[in-house]
Structure formats: C-alpha cells, structure tokens
Amino acid sequence: MDLWQHNVSLAVTPATPPPRQLATIFAGLMSMIYELRVYTAMPGRLPDVLARFRDHTVGIWNRLGIRQLGYWTTAVGPDSNALTYMLVWESLADREVKWGKFVVDPEWVEVRKASEAAGSIVAKMDNSFLAPTSFSPAK
C-alpha cells in the first residue's frame, strides 16, 4: 500500500469514523483542527526525510496554503529516527481539499519520486487529529 495515498482520506483505519461523522464529533469542540503526524524514517534515512521537508515540502505546503505549526525530531526518547510535526486546519473539509491537492501536486510527485530513487525513506507514518481540552491555551 502506498503510504502517501493512504492518508488522502481521513478514514485511515476501519475504526476511524467516516469524515462526516468526524466533522460532527469535532463540531463545537474547537475552532481549529490540529493534526499530529509522526514519520519514522527507514534506518539511516532521517537526514533524507528532513532534507525533503526543508528543501521542498515546506515550500509546496506554503504555496497550497497548508499551515504548519512546527517540526521536531526526538532529542530524548524511544525513537530518534522520527520526524514529528503538526498541521493546523480550519476544518476537516479544509484538510480534505488541501491534502488532496498536495498528494497530486506535480512538484510534490516529482520531489517524492526523486527523493525515493534509491528506495523509500519513510518506513511508517502515523497521524492523529487532536481536540484541545477546555483548559488548553490552543483552541
């Protein structure tokens, strides 16, 4: 299975509610939707993942209006071979439209192909949609 296409739809696992049900769940809980994404790199390929984000992905996302909250690598913890980042969406519909445009963007398709010419650089991707608590400074 192609990991990038897998994340086009929000219904990424059998247990994940369909987008309309997610929209109902999120309605009234927050004004923004935060998406936490963790990419575990193939062994020895984290520098390639970081370079692809730094040199290409960030610019493509800026062009497409995809808002990035921040990027982190693990300084201390169980997996130092991962890139963790957060995206911010106006709504689930906003996410679906912009992410859908991203995965088929000609520049992204070429960048991805070139960066994976010697093999996959990402072993695993996890994503979660987060709802702020009532006491969270982020809303």
25-69 residue pLDDT tens: 555 444 689 999 999 999 999 999 999 999 999 999 999 999 999
Q: pTM for the whole thing?
A: 0.77
Distance in angstroms (rounded) separating the CA atoms of residues 121 and 44: 9
* Domains of the chain with bracketed CATH: 3-130 (3.30.70.100)
Mean pLDDT (the chain, rounded) = 85
pLDDT of residue 11: 40
Quote the pLDDT of residue 44: 95
What pLDDT, on the 0 to 100 scale, is given for residue 139? 72
Which own/partner pairs from 48-55 qualify as long-range (CB within 8 Å, at least 24 positions apart)?
48/115, 48/121, 49/83, 49/121, 49/122, 50/83, 51/115, 52/111, 52/112, 52/115, 52/121, 53/83, 53/85
Strand partners, 128: 36
| Residues paired with residue 68 on neighbouring β-strands, in sequence order | 87
